[in-house]
Amino acid sequence: MKRFSLRILFYLAAAIVLVALPSLVRSNYWLGTIDLAIIYSIAVLGLNIVLGLTGQLNIAQAAFWGIGAYTAALLNTRLGWPFWATLLAAPPMAGAFGVMLGFPTLRLSGRYLALATIGFGIIINLILHNWKEFTGGADGIPGIASPVLGPFKFSTNASFYYLGLACLIIAALAQLKIKNSRMGRAFQAVKENELAAELSGVNAFKYRVIAFALCSAYGGLAGQLFAHRTKFVSAETFFIDMSILFICMLMIGGVGSIAGAIVGASLLTFIPEWLRFLQGPWAMAIFGLAIIFMMVFMPDGLAGLTRSIVQRIAARINPDGQEAAGRPSSGRIGATGEGK
Amino acid sequence: MFDVTTFAQLFVTGLAMGSIYALVALSFALLYKAVGILNFAVGEFVMVPGFISVVLLTTLKVPFLWAYLVTLGLMVFFGAVFQRTVYHPLRGRPFVTVLVSTIGASLFLRNTSLLTFGADPRVSPGLFTAKTVSFFGVFVPPQYLLIIATLIVLVVFQYLLFEKTLLGKKMQATAQDRDMARLLGIPVDTIILITFIYASLLGGISGILLAPVFYVTADMGFMIALKAFASSIAGGLGSIPGAIVGGLFIGVVELFCAAYISATYKDVFAFVILIAVLLLRPQGFFGEKIAEKA
Amino acid sequence: MSRIRTVYVLSTVFLLFPLLAAHGEAQTEKSVRIGLITEQTGVAAPSGERGIRATKLAEKQLNAAGGVNGSRIQVITYDNNSATQGTVNAVNKAIEDKVIALSGPGRSTHVQAVSPIIKENAIPALIAGTAVQLTRQGNPWLFRVRPDDSINGTAMAEFMAKDLKLTRIGILHDADAFGTGGADVVAEALKKYSQAPVRRERYTAGTKDYTAQLLNIKNAGAEGVVLYTTNAEDAAIVFRQIKELGINWKIVGCPAALSQVVVDLVKDASEGAYGAVDYFAEASPQARVFREGYFKEYNQEPDFQSAYPYDSLMLLADVMRRAGTTTDRNKTRDTILATRGYKGAMGTFNFTSNGDGIHDAHLIQMKGGKPRFIRTISVGQK
Query: Number of folded domains in chain C?
Result: 2
C336 and C256 within one domain: no
Nearest to A280 among C21, C41, C180 (CB): C41
Q: Which residues have C-beta within 8 Å of that of residue C165, sequence separation ≥ 6?
A: none
Amino acid letter at C315? L
C105 and C37 within one domain: yes
Q: Which residues have C-beta within 8 Å of that of residue B108, sequence separation ≥ 6?
A: A285, A288, A289, A292
Q: How many whole angstroms separate alpha carbon C342 and alpha carbon B192? A: 66
Question: Does residue B102 contact residue B228 with C-beta atoms inside 8 Å?
Answer: no
Minimum distance, in Å, between the CA of residue A132 and any CA atom of chain C: 10
Cβ within 8 Å, pair B266-C219: no
| Nearest residue in C to A146, CA atom | C116
Cβ within 8 Å, pair A140-C7: no
pLDDT given for residue B81 in this prediction: 95
Find the CATH number of the domain harbouring C341: 3.40.50.2300
| Nearest residue in B to C265, CA atom | B123
Q: Which residues of C243-279 are buried (b: 16+ CB within 10 A; e: fewer)?
A: bbbebebbbbbbbbbbbbbbbbbbeebbeebbbbbbb
pLDDT bucket at B130, cuts 50 / 70 / 90:
low
Q: How many whole angstroms separate alpha carbon C371 and alpha carbon C363? A: 9
pLDDT bucket at A335, cuts 50 / 70 / 90:
very low
Q: Mean pLDDT lowest for which of A30-44, B278-292, C196-210?
A: B278-292
| Residue A228 reports pLDDT greater than 90 | yes
Q: How many whole angstroms separate alpha carbon A149 and alpha carbon A141? A: 23
Q: Mean pLDDT lowest for which of B48-57, B73-82, C144-153, C325-334?
A: C325-334
Contacts of C208 in chain B (CB under 8 A): 17, 214, 223
Nearest to B259 among C43, C202, C212 (CB): C212
Cβ within 8 Å, pair B108-A111: no
Interface membership of A284 toward C (CB under 8 Å): yes
Question: Does residue A309 contact residue C5 with C-beta atoms inside 8 Å?
Answer: yes
Chains that touch B (3 or more CB pairs under 8 A): A, C
Domain ranges in chain B are 4-219
| Residue A119 reports pLDDT greater than 50 | yes
Q: Which of B177, C150, C38, C4 is nearest to A311 (CA)?
A: C4
pTM of the model: 0.84
Question: Does residue C25 contact residue C91 with C-beta atoms inside 8 Å?
Answer: no
C21 burial type by CB count under 10 A (0-12 exposed, 13-18 middle, 19+ buried): middle
pLDDT given for residue C1 in this prediction: 40
The 3 state secondary structure assigned to chain A is CHHHHHHHHHHHHHHHHHHHHHHHHCCHHHHHHHHHHHHHHHHHHHHHHHHHHCCCCCCCHHHHHHHHHHHHHHHHHHHCCCHHHHHHHHHHHHHHHHHHHHHHHCCCCHHHHHHHHHHHHHHHHHHHHHCHHHHCHHHCEECCCCCEECCEECCCHHHHHHHHHHHHHHHHHHHHHHHCCHHHHHHHHHHHCHHHHHHCCCCHHHHHHHHHHHHHHHHHHHHHHHHHHHCEECHHHCCHHHHHHHHHHHHHHCCCCHHHHHHHHHHHHHHHHHHHHHCCHHHHHHHHHHHHHHHHHCCCHHHHHHHHHHHHHHHHHCCCCCCCCCCCCCCCCCCCCCCC
Q: What angle do CA A75, A79, A81 make, to 5 degrees?
A: 60
CA B26 to chain centre: 5
pLDDT bucket at A320, cuts 50 / 70 / 90:
low
In a domain, C340, yes or no: yes
Amino acid letter at A266? S
C51 and C32 within one domain: yes
Interface membership of C8 toward A (CB under 8 Å): yes
Amino acid letter at A205? F
Which of the pair, C39 or B288, is modelled with greater confidence?
Answer: C39
C161 and C75 within one domain: no
Cβ within 8 Å, pair A288-B99: no
Task: For chain B, positions 190-249, list CB contacts with chain C under 8 A.
Answer: 214-215, 217-220, 222-223
Contacts of A40 in chain C (CB under 8 A): none
C236 and C304 within one domain: no
Interface membership of C172 toward B (CB under 8 Å): no
Question: Does residue C33 contact residue C98 with C-beta atoms inside 8 Å?
Answer: yes
C91 and C226 within one domain: no
C98 and C17 within one domain: yes
| Residue B28 reports pLDDT greater than 80 | yes
Cβ within 8 Å, pair A309-C115: no
C142 and C26 within one domain: yes
Nearest to A270 among C4, C17, C83 (CB): C17
pLDDT given for residue A287 in this prediction: 86
Question: Does residue A94 contact residue A216 with C-beta atoms inside 8 Å?
Answer: yes
Nearest to B214 among C49, C219, C237 (CB): C237
Domain containing C314 equals 2-147+284-351
Q: How many whole angstroms separate alpha carbon B150 and alpha carbon B152? A: 5
C172 and C31 within one domain: no
pLDDT bucket at A89, cuts 50 / 70 / 90:
very high
C309 and C251 within one domain: no
Task: Give the number of A-B residue pairs with CB atoms closer than 8 Å.
Answer: 140
Question: Does residue C93 contact residue A30 with C-beta atoms inside 8 Å?
Answer: no
> Starting from the edge strand earliest in sequence, which strands make up the sheet with C125-127, in order?
C72-79, C31-38, C101-103, C125-127, C142-144
Which of the pair, A54 or C235, is modelled with greater confidence?
Answer: C235
| Residue B167 reports pLDDT greater than 90 | no
pLDDT given for residue B137 in this prediction: 73
Minimum distance, in Å, between the CA of residue C59 and any CA atom of chain B: 22
Q: Which of C82, C99, C90 is nearest to C25 (CA)?
A: C99
pLDDT given for residue C163 in this prediction: 87
Contacts of A252 in chain B (CB under 8 A): 100
Task: For chain A, positions 135-194, list CB contacts with chain C under 8 A.
Answer: 137-140, 142-143, 155
Minimum distance, in Å, between the CA of residue C116 and any CA atom of chain B: 30
The secondary element (H helix, E strand) that includes residue C200 is: strand C199-203
pLDDT given for residue A198 in this prediction: 80
In a domain, C109, yes or no: yes
Question: Does residue C59 contact residue C73 with C-beta atoms inside 8 Å?
Answer: yes
Whether residue A281 has a cis bond before it, omega within 30° of 0: no
Which sign, positive or negative, has the C-alpha torsion A283, A287, A289, A293?
positive
pLDDT lower than 50: segments of chain C: 1-9, 11, 15, 18-27, 382
β pairing state of C274-277 and C360-367: antiparallel
In residues, how long is chain B? 294
The DSSP bridge partners found for residue C340 are: C350
Backbone angles phi, psi at C131, to 5 degrees: -65, 130
| Nearest residue in B to C231, CA atom | B121
**Max CA pair span of chain A:** 68
| Nearest residue in B to A284, CA atom | B111
β pairing state of C125-127 and C72-79: unpaired
Contacts of C14 in chain A (CB under 8 A): 267, 270-271, 274
Q: Is B130 helix (H, G, I), strand (E, B) or coil?
A: coil
Q: How many whole angstroms separate alpha carbon B65 and alpha carbon B71? A: 10
Question: Does residue C198 contact residue C186 with C-beta atoms inside 8 Å?
Answer: no
C272 and C195 within one domain: yes
| Nearest residue in B to C211, CA atom | B10
The secondary element (H helix, E strand) that includes residue B243 is: helix B240-260
Ramachandran class of B61: left when φ > 0, alpha when ψ lies in -120 to 50, beta otherwise: left
Amino acid letter at B218? A
Distance spanning both ends of chain C, measured CA to CA:
73
Cβ within 8 Å, pair A288-B109: yes
pLDDT given for residue B72 in this prediction: 95
pLDDT digits (tens, 9 = 90+) for A281-293: 888 888 889 888 8
In a domain, C357, yes or no: no
Q: Residue B292, CB half-sphere, CA atoms under 13 Å: how many?
A: 13
Q: How many whole angstroms separate alpha carbon B108 and alpha carbon B81? A: 14
Minimum distance, in Å, between the CA of residue C261 and any CA atom of chain A: 20
Q: Which of C160, C184, C183 is nearest to C172 (CA)?
A: C183
Q: What is the mean pLDDT of residues A242-263?
A: 89
Contacts of C207 in chain B (CB under 8 A): 266-267
Cβ within 8 Å, pair B9-C233: no
| Residue A84 reports pLDDT greater than 60 | yes
Ramachandran class of C20: left when φ > 0, alpha when ψ lies in -120 to 50, beta otherwise: alpha
β pairing state of C169-174 and C224-228: parallel
The DSSP bridge partners found for residue C348 are: C343
Interface membership of B89 toward C (CB under 8 Å): no
Interface membership of B139 toward C (CB under 8 Å): yes
Q: Which residues have C-beta within 8 Å of that of residue A8, sequence separation ≥ 6?
A: none
Interface membership of A299 toward C (CB under 8 Å): no
Contacts of A115 in chain B (CB under 8 A): 38, 229-230, 232-233, 237, 274, 278
Question: Does residue A160 contact residue A35 with C-beta atoms inside 8 Å?
Answer: yes
Cβ within 8 Å, pair C22-A297: no
C221 and C170 within one domain: yes
**Max CA pair span of chain B:** 61
| Residue B213 reports pLDDT greater than 60 | yes
Distance spanning both ends of chain B, measured CA to CA:
46
CA A219 to chain centre: 7
